[in-house]
A = this chain, B = another copy of it.
Amino acid sequence: MSESALQTALAYHHAWTGHDFDQAMTYIADDIVCLAPAGRLDGAAAFRGFMEPFSRILLRAELLGAFGDDTSAVLFYDTDTVPVPGAPGAECLTVRDGRIVELRIVFDRVPFEAARRAQAQASTAER
């Protein structure tokens, strides 16, 4: 395949931020290894179980930096999500034959955990 890693990474990025996760998964290798803040995820199903819920709460995505070469790419973006506005993230992706075989993702879980706690408290108060 002649597409560069950056092209594959961008195609994946535009698909999931465009809320088309079926399309996003066409760029994911069956045996993808994803290294996320909460730990390692093995395989496309585990990866989808992690990223698709995030794509559902996405309100806005802005790509701030996107670079790469034939085999790897780095994306840096900002997002607004339903629970957390202004949640930046970055990915370091390795691509083989047009599919992402490794994806390291980094973001700050602190505001998401704070939003979850606030939501849990609000639910308790409603009872």
Which A residues fall within an 8 A CB radius of B?
A: 35, 37, 64-69, 72-76, 88-92, 104, 106-110, 113
- Tell me the bound Cα distance from A100 to B66 in angstroms: 18
B74 touches A90 (CB 8 A): yes
Query: Knowing that A64-B92, A88-B106 are A-B contacts, what are 13 other residue pairs whose CB atoms are under 8 Å apart, sorted by A's residue number?
Result: A35-B88, A37-B108, A65-B73, A65-B74, A67-B67, A67-B73, A74-B90, A90-B106, A106-B106, A107-B108, A108-B108, A108-B109, A110-B110
**Which residues of chain B have C-beta atoms less than 8 A from A73's C-beta?**
65, 67
Shortest distance in angstroms between A73's beta carbon and chain B's nearest beta carbon? 8
Q: Would A89 and B64 be within 8 Å (CB), given that A74-B74, A74-B76 are in contact? A: no
Closest to A72 in B: B65
Closest to A111 in B: B37
B110 touches A37 (CB 8 A): yes
Interface centre among A67, A69, A104 (most CB of B within 10 A): A67
A110 touches B113 (CB 8 A): yes
**Which residues of chain B have C-beta atoms less than 8 A from A106's C-beta?**
76, 88-90, 106-108
Shortest distance in angstroms between A88's beta carbon and chain B's nearest beta carbon? 5
**Partner of A104 from B74, B76, B109 at Cβ < 8 Å:** B76
